[in-house]
Amino acid sequence: MSELNNIALKILEKGKGILAADESTGTMTTRLEGVNVPSTPQNRLLFREILFSSSSMRECIGGVILYDETIKQESSKKNKIPELISEMGSAPGIKVDIGAKVLAGSPDEKITEGLDGLRDRLKEYFQLGAKFTKWRGVYNITKNYPSQLSIQSNAHALARYSALVQECNMVPIVEPEVLMEGEHSAKECFEKTSEVIKKCFDELILHKVDLKGIILKPNMILSGNKSKEKISGEEVAKLTLKCLKNSVPTEVPGIAFLSGGQSELEATENLNLINKHNDTNFVMSYSYGRALQQSALKFWSKNTQNIVGTQKVFNHRARMNTLAAQGRWSKDFES
């Protein structure tokens, strides 16, 4: 087995998932101000360090995606953040794209940028201790979208990014996110997500990316958040598994779902149902941001010195998702 395959499997072993703590400074500011906490570098670090030093890091979190600011910060104990994460038995990772910008030729769609200078940035992040990276492409569903231009352009960018990351001996997380925003049906989400993922793998193969050394981070198959249609968790699981079985080459070691606007409970429940019905060889786990942190953030905002209480809230959510990643979660465990 290749070293990259080992890293990917270790991140997702035994129901472990990925904590997406890679919110940009702008997004983190919105989150903190939303709970009346000033967004300073110190506060952003304080909240993240509380999560990174919780006990569930050892049992539940196999990898942490960091933002450029955080990977260069020091913890309160004066060790570098990647060192803190590694000491907790988890792998430090880094978001390397610079965000989704307007796609030339289709101004209602987005293309993710950040390939310029990426090779040099990757070398720096590797030196700082990163074991894996993340790049997110976004696609919206409407009557005319995602267009072929958007599907092709984002797949090409994800493939070029992945090739450069593997060249630097890190595992690329490939994240093609078909957004939940919209009035589309689950059937439309299934069709568009299948098309997007297939095109991504066409490009990854063309760019000679080792599929055994990546992690796929897709959306689940859901109806749009403004759709009149509401489908059951069982249906979400069935459609999601069907999509991935038809679209993802069997060499891929693991799939870590994004939560994509689902509530904490929905994200856990749907992941559990996917794993209850999982008849593939893929490890199916989670790579959640808000769906792991939201309750902890709300609790912490009431008293930013209550570290133990905040960790207790975070530990609970992480454990629930790790049970779900093994198909062993039940609503009874939530109380």
Spatial contact of 296 and 51, defined as CB atoms under 8 Å apart: yes
Spatial contact of 270 and 233, defined as CB atoms under 8 Å apart: yes
Dihedral sign (CA 73, 79, 83, 85): negative
Tokens at residue 11, please? 């991140």
The torsion angles phi and psi of 152, rounded to 5 degrees, stand at -70, -45
Element counts in the chain: helices (H) and strands (E): 13, 10
Q: What angle do CA 169, 125, 24 make, to 5 degrees?
A: 125
Q: Which of 134, 192, 217, 238 is catalytic?
A: 217
d(CA 144, CA 278): 32
Tokens at residue 238, please? 């069935």
Nearest to 202 by CA among 214, 211, 213, 192: 211
Nearest to 178 by CA among 136, 144, 215, 209: 136
Tokens at residue 256, please? 């870590």
d(CA 131, CA 124): 12
Taking every pair of C-alpha atoms in the chain, what is the biggest distance, in angstroms? 53
Nearest to 197 by CA among 247, 154, 163, 254: 247
Active site residue 217: yes
d(CA 189, CA 209): 27
Tokens at residue 73, please? 């910060």
Catalytic residues: 217
